[in-house]
Structure 1
Amino acid sequence: MSTRFVLIQPSHAGNVGAAARALKVMGFDDLVLVQPRWDDVLTRAETIERASGAVDVLQKARAVDSLDDALQGMTHVCATVMTARDFGPPTTTPREHLATVADRAERVAFLFGSERYGMRNEDVYRCHAALRIPVSPAYGSLNLASAIQVVAYEWRLALGGFEVPPPVAPAAADAAAVAGMLRHWEQALVEVGFLDPAAPRKLMPRLQQLFNRAQPTPEEIHILRGIAKSMSDMAKRAKA
């Protein structure tokens, strides 16, 4: 699957850098600019700063003179629009449309218009679909890089997403550490008057079961010992 993101006449260097960053976090790196405002936009300081580490995407990106050049080799082209056109490709949400093409389109291009004017009708008409991000009717103005991030995310989702590794469970403290901590607590509980050693009932076995279920880590055992020490110190000061 080949994916290309095409920015038509981008006018802000920062948006180009932010676009590179948006693509990289979603695993894409094919960025093409059509007639950018700045000839050196890919190497400008603001672009690199906003790319925030996605310099490799900028280094691979290229600027071309026409949309025809940008779309060479692409077999499925999606426009991005704020409003549906009366004529042209059907307008749908990214999620709805991309789910239908992820398994059959081999080379997909996403087109984004200029920051000031959006996409021209003639550019929209040559696309297979027009994607409209569902936004608030009261305020639907999306920054260019934000729109790219949303579409890149939806496309990655349609392609199956990235596998999220399961969380790594912290290692539990061993039985000896738990037993030592419980002895420390037993001493502290006696000193503060909570535990009567003459009539302990089943307090300590119950605490043993509680910590067995909790499976505290070595760091947590250290904290619990610190609490026990503080209780003992307070009891000693109170008796002084």
Structure 2
Amino acid sequence: MQDSDPTRFILLNTSHPGNVGATARAMKVMGFTDLVLVAPRHADVLAQPDTLALASGATDVLARARIVDRLDDALDGITFACATAMTPRDFGPPTHAPRALFATLAGEPRRVAFVFGSERFGMSNDEVYRCHACLSIPTHPDYGSLNLAQAVQLVAYDWREAQGGFPVRARTPEPALADAAAVQGLLAHWQGVLQEIGFLDPAAPKKLMPRLNQLLNRTGLTREEVHILRGIARAIQGRRGRE
């Protein structure tokens, strides 16, 4: 079965419905949609409450997901399969860190699948033998246990980054910078206040105001920040006027 999404995520014998929902969410935030479940523990897993709750808005991925009986069926149309499991001790496909493999794999015209084993037993040797490579997520040597959906998220992120990633979009607009006239107005205001409090001697100003001018130029003040600083100056003047 061909799909417009060239990347497939395959879950083997999944036990917990929540992991299926969380996997759908992990896939969607990285822009992937092709999910295939092989013989999950619950035949109705795609519609279970925990699945829908953990999907958190990725129910469209669940709606198009497929359930098959065998890994061979899930790999239909795939040209490069990655097992997320330890390499069998006798023989098996080479093991790579995801980023190292993805750096070369992303530039090739392949239909790629990432295969994840069950929560309790992982992948069998026979299942690993069907794959072209094994992925080993670098973890702390003393504790490398990842939740299924966490592993999916890490692999999905690295795979998306290898293909160029998504641009970071700011949630807040860039603040408007104050123009030169506003900065000079602030400096003039400060000069008056500094003279009032005795910090600046108008008879011997030296280079205080030019240095402050350079300081403000380096900070790149926004209009709002100029208003705040002038407000502080007014408050000082008001306080002195009441003394």
Query: 8 Å contact 2:182–2:226 — kept in the other structure?
Result: yes
Stretch deviating more after TM superposition (122-131 or 198-207): 198-207
What code does the residue aligned with 2:12 have? I
What code does the residue aligned with 2:224 have? E
2:211 corresponds to which of 206, 212, 224:
206
With the length of structure 2 as denominator, give the TM-score of the two structures: 0.87
Query: 8 Å contact 1:102–1:158 — kept in the other structure?
Result: yes
Query: 8 Å contact 1:83–1:132 — kept in the other structure?
Result: no
Identical-residue share of aligned pairs (%): 63
Secondary structure of the equivalent of 1:73? coil
Is 2:169 the counterpart of 1:184?
Answer: no
Matches within 5 A, 1:1-240: 2-82=6-86, 84-164=88-168, 170-237=175-242, 240=243
Query: 8 Å contact 1:13–1:44 — kept in the other structure?
Result: yes
Query: 8 Å contact 1:98–1:158 — kept in the other structure?
Result: yes
Secondary structure of the equivalent of 1:96? helix
With the length of structure 1 as denominator, give the TM-score of the two structures: 0.88
**1:181-219, Cα deviation, whole Å (9 max, x unpaired):** 222212221222212234333322332233233221011
Query: 8 Å contact 2:87–2:94 — kept in the other structure?
Result: no
User: Whole-Å Cα distance in 2 between the matches of residues 122 and 83 of structure 1?
Assistant: 11
User: Whole-Å Cα distance in 2 between the matches of residues 198 and 236 of structure 1?
Assistant: 23
Secondary structure of the equivalent of 1:106? coil
Secondary structure of the equivalent of 1:78? strand
Change (3 A) 1:120 1:105: farther
Query: 8 Å contact 1:76–1:105 — kept in the other structure?
Result: no
User: Whole-Å Cα distance in 1 between the matches of residues 146 and 158 of structure 2?
Assistant: 16
- Unaligned regions of 5+ residues in structure 2, if any? none
**1:129-154, Cα deviation, whole Å (9 max, x unpaired):** 11121222211111101111111122
RMSD: 2.3
User: Whole-Å Cα distance in 2 between the matches of residues 139 and 198 of structure 1?
Assistant: 70
**1:97-123, Cα deviation, whole Å (9 max, x unpaired):** 233322224211110000010011111
Secondary structure of the equivalent of 1:228? helix
Query: 8 Å contact 2:24–2:62 — kept in the other structure?
Result: yes
